Homo-oligomer: A and B are copies of this chain.
Amino acid sequence: MKIKRSERLIDMTQYLLTHPHTLTPLTYFVKRYESAKSSISEDLAIIKKTFRQRGTGRLETVPGAAGGVIFTPEMSYEEAKAIVLALCERLSEQDRLLPGGYVYLSDLLGEPQLLKQVGRIIASRYVGKKIDAVMTVATKGVPIAQAVSYYLNVPFVIVRRDSKITEGSTVSVNYVSGSSERIEKMELSKRSLKRGSKVLVVDDFMKGGGTVNGMRALIEEFEAELVGITVFAESTFSGRRMVEEYTSLLCVRDVDTRTKNITVVPGNYFAD
């Protein structure tokens, strides 16, 4: 049975979306649909155009024998800004204020649609950069790391503050918790990161930057390379921050524990 163009377009779209950042040879599709290479090329041109017009991402064709097609998810500045502005509203809800001036985020970090958006926004920031792994610290950083990892199509690794037998041998570092100035310890399973890996660090919240700084030290221990740091939300910090270069999607600018007002603005992702 001959497969129609319409069916190819639907299934190719499905395939490309679920295999981002993966070079797929055109021969794969030729075989999958038992269609001519010229037809597949035409299909890809239509998908490329539609993905660009709808802001889904970039489809690139790599010519040559080792060539193929790569889909890179992207999100436009405008779409990202609209999503983050809506998030600012949600983060400002008064009942999010916890004792000590903390902001409750756990519900947001468990919403699949929101995580997909956040993953796409963060991944868009690193388009064109070589990244081998996403790193975060347990527990609340994990959903962000996984969301980003889905769009970059690279593994994520979880640094832990507690030792677990199920991790095998680990490498640990001590770090200064920025906000409390206490010395703490974090560790990562030895086999989870290869020497020379290019690592993107993500986390849910940054105050003094101590945790992120700890992950930086851990990356050095592994003789790996830090590519960038992006946090879901940062809060204004009165002391000297331990990390200078980072990207934030949201910034908790002010917390008034008396009136329970939380002021949230877009983070430095949108600064330039």
Using a CB–CB cutoff of 8 Å, the interface residues on chain A facing chain B are: 5-7, 9-11, 13-14, 17-19, 46-47, 49-51, 53-54, 56, 98-100, 102-107, 110-113, 115-116, 138-140, 142-143, 146-147, 149-150, 153-158, 160, 162, 165-168, 189, 191-192, 205
Interchain nearest-CB distance for A241 vs B (Å): 19
Contact B112 A49 (CB under 8 A): no
Q: Which residues of B contact A154 (CB under 8 A)?
A: 112
Contact A47 B10 (CB under 8 A): yes
A115 to B168, CA, bound (A): 21
Beyond the given A7-B46, A9-B10, A14-B54, please list 17 additional residue pairs across the A-B interface where CB-CB is below 8 A.
A6-B50, A7-B49, A7-B50, A10-B46, A14-B51, A19-B113, A98-B166, A100-B165, A104-B191, A106-B158, A110-B149, A112-B153, A112-B156, A113-B153, A138-B138, A138-B139, A139-B158
Contact A54 B11 (CB under 8 A): yes
Which among A102, A111, A150, A155 has the greatest number of chain B C-beta atoms within 10 A? Answer: A155
Contact B112 A192 (CB under 8 A): no
15 inter-chain pairs at a CB distance below 8 angstroms, sorted by A residue, are A5-B6, A7-B46, A10-B10, A11-B56, A17-B18, A19-B113, A102-B166, A103-B166, A106-B158, A106-B166, A111-B155, A112-B154, A112-B156, A138-B139, A142-B146
Contact B191 A107 (CB under 8 A): yes
Contact B49 A192 (CB under 8 A): no
Interchain nearest-CB distance for A131 vs B (Å): 12
Contact B10 A110 (CB under 8 A): no
